Amino acid sequence: MRSIYLDYATTTPVAASVRDKMLPFLSEFYGHPASCHWFGRAANEAIEDARSCVATLIGCHPSELVFTSSGTESINLALLGAGRAIARSETDVRPHIIISTLEHTAVTACAEQLQRDGWTVSQVGCDQNGIVRLDELERLIRNETRLISIIHASHRIGTLQPIHQVVDLCRDT
């Protein structure tokens, strides 16, 4: 009997094209990219080539692109890094973050940490289809709001948020 994998919310099979590109780094060019020997330099060159390609794709400078080991690490770096920088630079305000009820648990954990650090936290709900309630988001935004985290594609239920409308609302409010 053939197995069918249905847990795409947590991980997905590696695409054959990605696997084929990665195989040399698992068998031939496996050096640590910070090492000064040939294996390390080859690995570092591949990483920097990838960084340049991704930077071009998303329209940033390669030095602005950080590779992390996981989504959780990326979320922590973005939210806690930005949150703490904001708190240091704006000591006269108690900053506010809004997150959706569909966020990854790492986002919720970051919001809880920011709350322990003195932030106020609000959660915006979703409708019966899992779409963020834009009217509620608009009501939650206030002068002290510094961060808003809305997951674009839900890993739990698969909905795509109207992210352009969210961005427009944030800019206009």
Kindly report the pTM of this predicted structure.
0.83
Average pLDDT for the chain: 94
Q: Which residue has the tokens 């808003």?
A: 148
Longest CA–CA separation in the chain, Å = 64
Mean pLDDT highest for which of 3-7, 43-47, 55-59, 155-159?
Answer: 55-59
- Closest to 96 measured CA to CA, from 124, 121, 117: 121
Separation between Cα atoms, residue 87 and residue 106, nearest integer Å = 20
Q: Contact, 133 vs 155, CB < 8 A?
A: no
Residue ranges of E strands in 49-152 = 96-100, 120-124, 145-149
Average pLDDT over residues 78-87: 97
**pLDDT value at residue 6:** 80
Using CB atoms within 10 Å of the CB of residue 131, give its burial: 0 to 12 exposed, 13 to 18 middle, 19+ buried: middle
Separation between Cα atoms, residue 102 and residue 125, nearest integer Å = 8
Q: How confident is the model at residue 139 (pLDDT cuts 50, 70, 90)?
A: very high
| Torsion sign, CA atoms 11, 16, 17, 22 | positive
| Torsion sign, CA atoms 110, 163, 58, 7 | positive
Average pLDDT over residues 25-45: 90
**pLDDT value at residue 26:** 87
**pLDDT value at residue 30:** 85
